[in-house]
Chains A and B, each alone.
Chain A
Amino acid sequence: MQALTDFNHNFIQNLEDQSGTQINQCYQCGKCSAGCPAAFAMDYTPRQVIRMLQLGMIKESLQADSIWICATCMTCSTRCPRGVDTAALMEDLRRQAIREGTASDRKIEIFNDLFLKLVEKYGRIYETGLILGFNLKTSQIFKDSQLGVPMLRRGKLHLLPKKIKAVEEVQAIFKRVREMERQER
């Protein structure tokens, strides 16, 4: 067990602010983990991840595969008798892991970046670009390829992107958000 150093203290404070929840409210009953539909695949159950945070085991919590297995279904947050928003904690741990470069699974990060780039470029999602780009960047070119032709035949995939006419308005939002964050820093 590690001592709560200044770094750890600030980390926890920031995590609680971002997720709007308090980790010391958790009394380790485990209801979150009993109800979690993805706990079977996790290296640490949601209850254990929160315990790590309570003990100041920041590094371990950021390296847990569990935070990438959480599907944000919010069963845990709904059932917690102490009002801990576990799903929000998991989400912020993902953000922190990306920032610290300790993500055990980079696929979600790659997917999110690509998704937002396409939204900024076209105003809506260009699903063919998203699927092909994701497969290419994660070196799994033929992933789900058996679904491609049936989707095209049903008109559920479009080969070419469609840009909305007001795309400049959407791009302006991306730009202003970036500027506002720069000013805040």
Chain B
Amino acid sequence: MKLAYYPGCSQESAALEYGISMRKMAEVLGVELWEIPEWNCCGATAAHSVNHLLSLALPARNLAIAEQQGLDVVTPCAGCYNRLKVTEHYVRENQQMRKQVQEAIGANYRATNRTFSVLELLVERLGIDFIRSKVTKPLKGLKPVCYYGCLLVRPVELTGFDDPEDPRSMDNLVRALGAEPVDWPFKTECCGAALTNTRPEIGLKMTHTLLKTAVEMGADSIVTACPICMLNLDMRQSQVEKEFEVKFDLPVYYVTELVAVAAGISPQEAGINLHFVEAVNLLHNLVVT
């Protein structure tokens, strides 16, 4: 399978290990990733907060390059995924908007290709049985909660994926890797997103609720497929601990890291040593026992 690859800006900075594990995972699963040459930022929340046309035109330039190659697109970032899907939707459904977007990017983009999230790639395109067949080092004993967050399942009219209230795709996937996912009520509860930056007194409280609940439910880790969720749960975990005078030391994994490790890649090769909360030991201990 060959897909156009849209990494998104965070893969070059805060979510470095997401990009590393994505590539490693694709390699072991036999998925060829064709990185969109000279891809640009999707505009993120900033563009659609300020200018609607700009928020469609910035993603459209990338999608048009992939369309010219006749390729569907995969992106690991849940934020980019949302922006690319919104663009696809408008260009497909709204003739007036299509014309405006085409004029803005100077290309005849018609949205004949589709964008997939990493979860969609794994669960729908490749399939759980296929993933299971690639597992050489089952994650036996790992008890994570699967955290889907907002943008992978919402709005369901755009994603058409899983269930916006009780998604199960990641739980099924993680189970196929040999782990024992722990059920919890906050699968799609918001992590606080950018509020941890703009209004930390609110954002950190939201992140704290997730970390606390995960531990209370008996999980030993969290799995996510979103760089912003990771930023809050992993990088800001120490800020949450300080603010609420608690200690979690709770490892947080990208779903790509767990697939890569279960398929035989070492945690270091998958970039897990780049996390803020130490997360390599838990996986090493699994492999030993």
Contacts and interface: CB of A to CB of B under 8 A. Distances in A.
Interface of A: 18, 37-38, 40-41, 68-69, 71-75, 77-79, 91, 94-95, 105, 107-108, 111-113, 115-116, 119, 123-125, 127, 144, 147, 150-151, 154-158, 162, 164-166, 169-170, 172-174, 176-177, 180-181
A125 B197 CA distance: 17
A163 B252 CA distance: 31
A38 B202 contact: yes
- The A interface is mostly helix, strand or loop, or mixed, namely helix
23 contacts: A38-B190, A38-B202, A40-B205, A41-B201, A69-B195, A71-B194, A74-B154, A75-B150, A107-B198, A108-B198, A113-B46, A116-B46, A119-B46, A124-B40, A125-B41, A154-B274, A155-B16, A158-B13, A164-B39, A169-B61, A174-B54, A176-B57, A180-B103
Nearest to A151: B14
Nearest to B274: A154
Contacts of A155: 16, 274
Can you list the 7 inter-chain pairs with the closest CB atoms, starting with the nearest?
A: A73-B190, A115-B46, A166-B38, A112-B46, A125-B9, A73-B150, A41-B202
Between B193, B198, B235, the greatest number of chain A beta carbons within 10 A of the residue's beta carbon is seen for B198
Contacts of A77: 154-155
Interface string B263-279: 00000000000101000
Given A71-B192, A75-B188, A116 B43 contact: yes
Interface residues on B, range: 35 or more
Contacts of B195: 38, 69, 71
Given A77-B155, A108-B49, A127 B206 contact: no
Given A69-B199, A170-B58, A180-B103, A150 B276 contact: yes
A48 to B, nearest CB: 18
The interface centre, meaning the residue of A127, A162, A165 with most chain B CB atoms within 10 A of its CB, is: A127
B77 to A, nearest CB: 12
Contacts of A68: 198-199
A78 B156 contact: yes
Contacts of A113: 46, 50
A119 B41 contact: yes
A34 to B, nearest CB: 13
Given A78-B165, A119-B58, A112 B50 contact: yes
B285 interface: no
Given A38-B190, A74-B155, A176-B106, A116 B47 contact: yes
Interface of B: 9, 12-14, 16, 38-41, 43-54, 57-58, 61, 100, 103-106, 150, 154-156, 164-165, 188-190, 192-195, 197-199, 201-203, 205-206, 209, 235, 274, 276
A111 B47 CA distance: 11
B198 A73 contact: no
B18 to A, nearest CB: 11
B76 to A, nearest CB: 15
Given A108-B198, A119-B58, A123-B40, A37 B50 contact: no
Given A37-B206, A78-B155, A174-B54, A115 B44 contact: yes
Contact of A154 (B16, B38, B202): B16
Contacts of B104: 173, 176-177, 180
Given A69-B202, A147-B235, A157-B13, A95 B38 contact: no
Contact of A91 (B38, B49, B198, B235): B49
Interface-central residue, A72, A169, A174, by most chain B CB under 10 Å: A72
Residue in A71, A127, A165, A176 with the greatest tally of chain B CB atoms within 10 Å: A71
A95 B50 contact: yes
Contacts of A123: 38, 40-41
